[in-house]
Amino acid sequence: MVFPPAIPFHPKPKKKADDEKEDETKTVTFKVTLGRGEDETNAQKTEWSFRVFEDGGDAEDYVKWRIRFEELAEAMHLDTPDKKYTVLQQALRGEARARFNTAWHSVEIPKNASPGRFQVMSEKRLNKGYNALAKQLFVPVDSAWCRQRSYLRYHVKFGNMTVAEFRRRLIEQNEFLKYFPAPAGKSVSKLTEEELVEIVDRAKPVEYHCDVLANNYDPYQKTLQEYTEYLERLEVRHNIQKAMAKRDNQQVQNDGDESGGQKNRKRKHKNGGKRHGNTSNNNNNNGNCELCGKPGHNKVDCWEDDKNASKRPPGYKTGKNRRNRQPNRNNNELPRLTAEQMSFLMQGFEALKRNEASKKRRVRVDENDDDHPSHTHFLAQTNSKVDAESDNNTSDYNSDDYIKDTLRCTLRILTPLDFFRNRNGIMF
């Protein structure tokens, strides 16, 4: 991080419009002869557009310019440093050209030098000119090649690249190493194929690594081409799995949205229907009716109120839906028993003793009632009379039926409230 690599493996994308505009204004055209025979005047020629180099570029721009220039030199048969120097004067602009010329002329070649020494000194002069161009782009210049080589071997990853893109970029970066400034007393070289396989194996995604181990695949016994082809097949497999998982998740999400929409529509339809009237702001804090306690309507529109009887739907409180509620009755409307009626009732209970000898029993009239042929029963109407002219003032009743009828009438009329709130103050 103190000295980052001169050329990153994942470069920042550049705008195509800027590149095209720059290519139109900063290019130079050379005539290149196709083929080389005895009669060069009749040989076919073509034009070669070449991008010039000037200040403002980065290390990758410089290396690409150098590669392009070497291709042009090979096409134009520039086999000596002096021939290259002539073309370089047209391929360099601005400060870059000035730095190159300064470094070029700093190396003097003796006039009486032998051809071999002259060739060596010419190569040294050309390399010194190149180093003058790259000195400001590769910092520190003496260790730029070593740092770039270590960076490629241990610190590059696939990222968003495919296997084919990573392989193409790795081969390109390996070609860049030849054009880095050489350290003092050393020469620069490219990475070997074994090192490139090691780089690919270390940079591959984790899911590919699991498949390589599961298949017992040894990448170090394969070439770079074989290993990258194997990783491409793994890449296709994982892409298919990701697409299927994405489709399944989308299907589940769509099913959930559809079911949720149906539930929301049902809930909306249910809440939108009328329940005991329309909603209003007159409800209590809980949103329930103050009269019946049900939500969804207010007290004014409640069907429990007799004023809203016309609003009740057909079948309200009838059939199976009828509520088993006792109507609120006023205490004054409840039946009352006098002390005389209660005494008669208790005597009747004493007289209702079953005769073991007979299934029927006789009811005897009290002696105090001889003068009165009839009496008023407390369970009957006040104007109803009992016929006293029956044989021997007796009446035959079925004892079981009489007891049942009496208790039924008693339980139907009497309530616990009668005993505790009797007008005459009688309490049981």
DSSP string covering 58-114, please?
-HHHHHHHHHHHHHHHHHTT--SHHHHHHHHHHHB-HHHHHHHHHHHHTS---TT--
In a domain, 231, yes or no: no
Residues 408 and 301 in one domain: no
Q: What is the pLDDT of residue 298?
A: 80
Based on the domain organization, do 348 and 293 belong to the same domain?
A: no
Last residue of a domain, which of 139, 157, 177? Answer: 139
Per the structure, the complete domain to which residue 357 belongs is given by 336-420
- Let me know whether 367 and 294 are in one domain: no
153 neighbors 191 (Cβ within 8 angstroms) = yes
Same domain, 341 and 396: yes
Does residue 176 form part of some domain? no
Residue 36 lies in a domain: yes
Give the pLDDT mean for 194-203.
95
Q: Which is higher by pLDDT, 91 or 361?
A: 91
Q: What gap in Å lies between CA 100 and CA 81, rounded to an integer?
A: 13
The verdict on residue 235 lying in a domain is no
Q: Do 23 and 60 fall into the same domain?
A: yes
Query: 341 and 303 in one domain?
Result: no
pLDDT at 280 over 90: no
Pairing between β-strand 396-398 and β-strand 44-51 as defined by DSSP bridges: unpaired
pLDDT band at 311 (very low <50, low <70, confident <90, very high): confident
Query: CA torsion angle for 95, 101, 106, 108 (degrees, to 10)?
Result: 180
- Co-location of 106 and 20 in the same domain: yes
Are 296 and 397 members of one domain?
Answer: no
Residue 208 belongs to a domain: no
Q: Are strands 396-398 and 360-362 parallel, antiparallel or unpaired?
A: antiparallel
Q: Which residue has the higher pLDDT, 339 or 264?
A: 339
When pLDDT is averaged across residues 152-178 and rounded to a whole number, the result is: 94
Q: Using CA atoms, how far apart are residues 55 and 71, in angstroms rounded to an integer?
A: 22
Give 284-299 pLDDT, tens digit per residue.
556 688 888 788 788 7
Tell me the C-alpha distance between 340 and 422, whole Å: 13
Residue at 6 is within a domain: no
Cβ neighbours around 149 below 10 Å, total: 20
Looking at the chain, the whole-number percentage of residues with pLDDT higher than 70 is 64
Question: Coil, strand or helix: which one is 315?
Answer: coil
- 309 CB-near residues (< 8 Å, 6+ apart): 303
* 21 and 128 inside one domain: yes
Asked if residue 298 and residue 362 are part of one domain, the reply reads no
pLDDT of residue 44: 78
Please tell me the predicted confidence (pLDDT) of residue 346. 74
Please state the rounded mean pLDDT for residues 167-184: 93
* Tokens linked to 387: 């016929």
pLDDT in the model for residue 395: 45
Same domain, 29 and 133: yes
392: left (phi over 0), alpha (psi -120 to 50) or beta: left
Kindly state whether residue 300 falls inside one of the protein's structural domains: yes
Go through 371-394 and write b for each residue having 16 or more CB atoms within 10 A of its CB, e for each that does not.
eeeeebebeeeeeeeeeeeeeebe
Q: Are 80 and 88 in contact (CB under 8 A)?
A: no
Whether omega before 140 lies within 30 degrees of 0, making that bond cis, reads yes
Where is the domain boundary, 119, 139, 159? 139
d(CA 279, CA 295): 9
State how far the Cα of 97 lies from the Cα of 183, in Å rounded to an integer. 23
What's the structural domain count of the chain? 3
Percent share of the chain, pLDDT over 90: 32
CA–CA separation, 11 and 161 (whole Å) = 12
Closest CA to 151 of 180, 114, 109: 180
Name which of 194, 252, 256 is nearest 226 in CA terms.
Answer: 194
Structure tokens at 120: 């060596």
Scored b (16 or more CB within 10 A) or e, 13-48 reads eeeeeeeeeeeeeeeeeeeeeeeeeeeeeeeeeeee
From CA 427, how far away is CA 416, in angstroms rounded?
10
Q: 410 and 362: one domain? A: yes
Within-domain flag for 266: no
Backbone φ and ψ of 170, nearest 5°: -65, -45
